[in-house]
Amino acid sequence: MPYTSAMRKWQLGLSIGGFALLTLACGGRQERPQMASSAGRPAYAVDYPERLALGLSRMLEGEQKSRQDMEEFPEYSGKLNDTDWELSLAIVRLADEEGRGQAYAESRTRTEAVEDFLEDEDKALGQKIIGSVNYATKDKGCSDSVGPSAYYSTKRGIAKQLKESAQDSNAAHHVIKDNEDALGKRNITALEDEVDAISLASYMAHVGLENKRRELQRMSAEASEAESTLNRSAEDLQKIIDDPNQKPKMKKRAKTRLAAVEESRAMIQEQQKGLSQAMEEAKKRVETFRTDYKTAFDALEESFEKAAQENAKTK
C-alpha cells in the first residue's frame, strides 16, 4: 500500500463521517451549537482512555477537597470574635448563593482550565521556563538555581492571581471589603477563607460535580466508537509495517504509533468492563454530596444564628 494512502487514512480517520455528523448537527435551527464527537479520530481515540480516567480522578479530587472543607463548617463561627454576627450570617448565606450562580461557575471553569493545564504540562512547561531563565541570566553571574526558583514563583503568582480573580467575581467578598470595620479587621482573613470554602462547596454540590458527571457520561458513550477507531488504525498501521515498499523511516513511525494504539485499545477494553457501573456510581455520588452539603451548611448556618442570638442578648 502506498504511503500517501495508508498514512493519510490513519491520520485523518473518519473525516468524511465527522463532516457528515457536523452537517447533520447544523442542518436545522439549534438553540446551542452541536459539536460532533471526535471519537472517530485516531489521535483523540489514542488519548481517550487517559482523558476518561483523568476526568473521573478530577471529579473525585474536587469532591474530596470540598468534603474536607465541609467538615469544618460547624467550627467557622468559632473562628470569629467581636463581629457583627447578623452581617456575618448574611455573608455566609451569600457565599452559598454565589456558589450556585453563573458568575462563580464561569470563574471556576476558567480556574480549573488553568489548573488542569499547569498540572498536565508541568514538566514540559517547567523545562521551558527554567531553560529560558537560565539562558537569559547565564551571562549575569546567576546560578542554575535561578530557573527553578523563577518557575516556582511563576506558579505561585498564577495561583494567587486565580484566587484573587475568583474572589473579585464573588459578591460575598465585596460585602466583606465594604464592611471591614463592622466585621472586625482581625476577622477578615478567616471570613474570606470561609467564603471561599463555602462558595466552592456550594458550587460543587449544585453545579460542578454534575457538570463533571455529564462530561464523563458523554465520554463513556464514545467508548465503543473510540475502540472501533483504534481497531481500524491498528489495521492501517500494520499494513504500512508489512508493506515491503515502505521506507524504513515510515515503518518505524508506524510501529511507534501502533504500540500507542494497542496500549490505548487495551485500556479502553479494560475500562468498558466497569464503565456502566462507574457512571451509575458517579450519579449517586453527586446526589449524596448535594445532601451532605445541605447538612453541613445547615449546621454552619445554625452555629452563626446561635452566635447572633447570643450576641443580641448581651446588648
Quick: pLDDT tens for 207-220. Answer: 999 999 999 999 99
Identify the pLDDT of residue 3: 37
d(CA 212, CA 226): 20
H or E stretch at 100: none
Average pLDDT over residues 277-288: 92
Identify the pLDDT of residue 136: 80
Q: Is the per-residue pLDDT at 302 higher than 90? A: yes
pTM for the structure as a whole: 0.81
Q: Which of 275, 308, 287 is nearest to 91 (CA)?
A: 308
Identify the pLDDT of residue 6: 43
Kindly give, in sequence order, each residue whose CB lies less than 8 Å from that of residue 147, ignoring residues fewer than 6 positions away: 129, 130, 131, 132, 133, 134
**69 or 31: which leads in pLDDT:** 69
Identify the pLDDT of residue 14: 32
Per-residue pLDDT reduced to its tens digit, 148-189: 888 899 999 999 999 999 999 999 999 999 999 999 999 999
d(CA 41, CA 9): 10
Per-residue pLDDT reduced to its tens digit, 34-76: 678 899 999 999 999 999 999 889 899 999 999 999 999 999 9
Q: Is the per-residue pLDDT at 306 higher than 80? A: yes
Identify the pLDDT of residue 243: 94
| CB-based contacts of 277-284 (< 8 A; 24+ apart in sequence) | 278/56, 278/220, 279/213, 279/216, 279/217, 279/220, 282/56, 282/59, 282/213, 282/216, 282/217, 283/213
Percent of the chain, pLDDT > 90? 69
How far CA 240 is from CA of 59, 133, 233, 246, in Å, comes to 40, 43, 11, 7
How far CA 16 is from CA of 1, 9, 22, 189, in Å, comes to 21, 11, 10, 57
Give the pLDDT band of residue 28 (cuts 50, 70, 90): very low
Residue 215 backbone zone (phi > 0: left; psi -120 to 50: alpha; other: beta): alpha
Per-residue pLDDT reduced to its tens digit, 107-150: 999 999 999 899 889 999 989 988 888 888 777 666 667 888 88
| Average pLDDT along the chain | 86
Q: Which of 88-92, 132-136, 235-239 has the lowest mean pLDDT?
A: 132-136
Identify the pLDDT of residue 193: 97
Q: Is the per-residue pLDDT at 1 higher than 90? A: no
Identify the pLDDT of residue 245: 92
Q: Is the per-residue pLDDT at 15 higher than 60? A: no
Identify the pLDDT of residue 24: 36
Q: Which of 49, 28, 22 is nearest to 223 (CA)?
A: 49
Q: Alpha carbon 299 to chain centroid distance?
A: 29
Q: Which of 58, 68, 95 is nearest to 209 (CA)?
A: 58
